[in-house]
A and B are shown apart, each in its own frame.
Chain A
Amino acid sequence: MQHSKQFQDIFADPKAYARRWKEKTGGKVIGTLCSYAPEELILAGGALGFRIVGGSGSISKADAHLQSYSCSLVRGALEDALNEQLDFLGGAIFPHTCDSIQRLSDIWRMNAETGFHLDVVLPVKLNTQSARNYMAAVMRKARTDLEAVLDKIITDDDLQKAIGTYNGIRSAMKRLYTLRRDRPGTIDGSDVHAIVRASMVMDRNDFLNSLTQVVESLEQQPEPESKTGKRIFFSGGVCNLPDVYSVIESAGGTVVGDDLCTGFRGLTGLIDIGGDPMDAIADRYARRAICPAKHSGITRRGDDLVRLAKETRAQGVIFLFLKFCDPHAFDYPYLKSMLDAEGIPSLLLELEEQIPSEGQFRTRCEAFMEML
């Protein structure tokens, strides 16, 4: 699709984009390891948030620090850092999420040369008043910490502008996902994936402008011939494989929605405006779609999954987990039984950064489509 060319280019080489941005603006690029990194504060501080979702090749140096049963995201990210592939970073932010990312933070602090190092120790439980108060306090500390390392006062006005940008991005992404749900022929899954990935690295104001144009033009397009593919919903963590979309599509499926970390999960929920900006930002992080390393009620993720699968009229759910991602693996049995109870078939695919044996992967996807 012509519209998505610039997003595809950035997704193909996000590091080159970040280097160019840094050269052009003289600003700081800040690596983030999770969708719970307080991006609004980074933007308000005039820096570029750069989400690290894994590495760029085979692993050798990282294995001196991490066990082979760590996920490929953690191992790949460290490998890139140790290989100076991330030398354009002025700093890195590690939000408190899964155990692997928390311990990666320690290894990173002692071994990687990527500028300043911030841990944002977020609450795990999100659905109590005390957790929300704590969340707001953590966000205020992150603001002060960022002011120190960026050598810039982050004013409430800066924050309001950043909130406006992020609310704009998240609203436009919601429109894109609505289009994908209602008119799945309008945009390919791999294009949506590229747009989401670009949203994690591109200058956020530029991204908002480009995204808005794309969404408006797609909305005005005449209704395409309806795709006859089986409607598939993706559930899981980080998917670093655009090939997954083409495999699903060539097997006769159409992806109509997702709750992936490299999908809609981090883009849910708008920030309230009018009140204290820090409280509003913190409140949205407590309300947004949760990750399995967080808690917001015993069946929150299952309730969300069943609701989304129904809303998108999914005929089947494909779970995409990174191998060795135990937060997702622990949730899987109850998520699957909730889907089973609703009569929604599902398939579990465990992935690493490279598809390990493409033939078997293809066979599973095709067999699942034949089953539906």
Chain B
Amino acid sequence: MITVGIDVGSISAKAALINAGELIGSRVMLTGYNARNAGENIFTGLLDDLGIHRDAVDRIVATGYGRNSVAFAHKAVTEITCHAVGAHFQDPAVRCVIDIGGQDSKAIALDSTGRVKDFAMNDKCAAGTGRFLEVMARALEVDLDAFGKMSLKADRPAAISSLCTVFAESEVISLIARGERRANIIAGIHESIGSRVVAMANRVGITEPVMMAGGVANNIGVVKALEKRSGKTILVSAYAQVNGAIGAALIAAG
């Protein structure tokens, strides 16, 4: 059975195709203004990549904040359930998933079958999310892809005390004005995300093995900051960003 999971996030849309329990392929693109189009585009884009015809797809599950705008999906499931299923597929030993996406962050505790036991989600605020990193990258004139590696060169991470993205940005600008090294500022930003997300994850309990999912998992600086704050090892798979889409495709397969 061929199934597709489509994860329409606030910043990027992801799709994954599963055939008989095997991950065949995945794709990521920017969501843009129209979530409806994003769902369609990521789906057709993935099928083109793989040379698979639309009719060959048996079932589709949509997830992510735009899950209800994917009209051709058979079902919508929240990204919380999908991330748990996706992480369990990638490594059945995983008991905690930390997902940092574009507009929110989540911590999910799961059992040995991949079922969600408990979860926590940040409240209506960009602090500790991908959007926060985007704002900071702009203020620092650094390409977001280089952000993670650059922070590893820090010798003394700067202290960023504001939780609010707007206030944190003005703190960052003050640090720039004071001549603080870029690497230290970026490391400070990652540590502030790390402390915020770990505080939230502690509400559900950070049980190892911990896996990180979502686009921000590609930022090694945030991963290191989470490890430092939590004192736990954090696994990052090559499919971190499409983890939710993989979970959705697996749920579609039943």
Q: Is B115 engaged at the interface, CB distance under 8 Å to the other chain?
A: yes
A345 to B123, CA, bound (A): 20
A363 to B105, CA, bound (A): 12
A residues 293-342 in Cβ contact with B at 8 Å? none
> Can you show 12 pairs from A to B with CB atoms below 8 A apart?
A356-B123, A357-B124, A359-B65, A360-B121, A360-B124, A363-B65, A363-B80, A364-B121, A366-B78, A367-B119, A370-B116, A371-B119
A33 to chain B, nearest CB (A): 27
A140 to B199, CA, bound (A): 49
B116 to A367, Cβ gap below 8 A?
Answer: yes
A364 to B104, CA, bound (A): 12
Q: Is A350 engaged at the interface, CB distance under 8 Å to the other chain?
A: yes
A371 to B123, Cβ gap below 8 A?
Answer: no
Q: A366-B78, A367-B116 are in contact. List 16 more A-B contacts (CB 8 A).
A: A345-B117, A356-B123, A357-B124, A360-B121, A360-B124, A363-B65, A363-B78, A363-B80, A367-B79, A367-B81, A367-B119, A370-B80, A371-B80, A371-B115, A371-B116, A371-B119
Residues of A within 8 A of B (CB): 345, 350, 356-357, 359-360, 363-364, 366-367, 370-371
A370 to B123, CA, bound (A): 20
- Within 8 Å CB of B80, what residues of A? 363, 367, 370-371
- Within 8 Å CB of B77, what residues of A? 370
A2 to B81, CA, bound (A): 38
B121 to A345, Cβ gap below 8 A?
Answer: no
- Within 8 Å CB of B118, what residues of A? 345, 371
Q: Which 6 pairs show the lowest CB-CB distances between chains A and B?
A: A367-B80, A367-B78, A371-B116, A370-B81, A357-B124, A356-B124
A246 to chain B, nearest CB (A): 15
B128 to chain A, nearest CB (A): 14
A371 to B204, CA, bound (A): 14
Can you name the residue of chain B whose Cβ is closest to the Cβ of A350?
B123
- Within 8 Å CB of B116, what residues of A? 367, 370-371
Can you name the residue of chain A whose Cβ is closest to the Cβ of B80?
A367
Residues of B within 8 A of A (CB): 65, 77-81, 104, 115-119, 121, 123-124
A345 to B80, CA, bound (A): 16
- Within 8 Å CB of A371, what residues of B? 80-81, 115-119
- Within 8 Å CB of A356, what residues of B? 123-124
- Within 8 Å CB of B65, what residues of A? 359, 363
B117 to A360, Cβ gap below 8 A?
Answer: no
- Within 8 Å CB of A350, what residues of B? 123
B76 to chain A, nearest CB (A): 8
A349 to B80, CA, bound (A): 16
Decide yes or no: A360 and B81 within 8 Å by CB, A367-B119, A370-B116 being known contacts: no
- Within 8 Å CB of B124, what residues of A? 356-357, 360
A356 to B125, CA, bound (A): 10
B69 to chain A, nearest CB (A): 11
A350 to B121, CA, bound (A): 11
B78 to A370, Cβ gap below 8 A?
Answer: yes
Residue with the greatest number of chain B CB neighbours at <10 A, chosen from A345, A356, A366: A366
A253 to chain B, nearest CB (A): 13
A370 to B117, CA, bound (A): 10
B123 to chain A, nearest CB (A): 7
- Within 8 Å CB of B117, what residues of A? 345, 371
B81 to chain A, nearest CB (A): 4
Can you name the residue of chain A whose Cβ is closest to the Cβ of B251?
A370
Can you name the residue of chain A whose Cβ is closest to the Cβ of B118?
A345
A363 to B81, Cβ gap below 8 A?
Answer: no
A236 to B12, CA, bound (A): 36
- Within 8 Å CB of A367, what residues of B? 78-81, 116, 119
A364 to B65, CA, bound (A): 11
A256 to B79, CA, bound (A): 27
- Within 8 Å CB of B123, what residues of A? 350, 356, 360
Can you name the residue of chain B whose Cβ is closest to the Cβ of A356?
B124
- Within 8 Å CB of B79, what residues of A? 363, 367
- Within 8 Å CB of A370, what residues of B? 77-78, 80-81, 116
A248 to chain B, nearest CB (A): 14
Decide yes or no: A360 and B119 within 8 Å by CB, A367-B80, A370-B77, A370-B78 being known contacts: no
A364 to B204, CA, bound (A): 14
A131 to B118, CA, bound (A): 40
- Within 8 Å CB of A360, what residues of B? 104, 121, 123-124
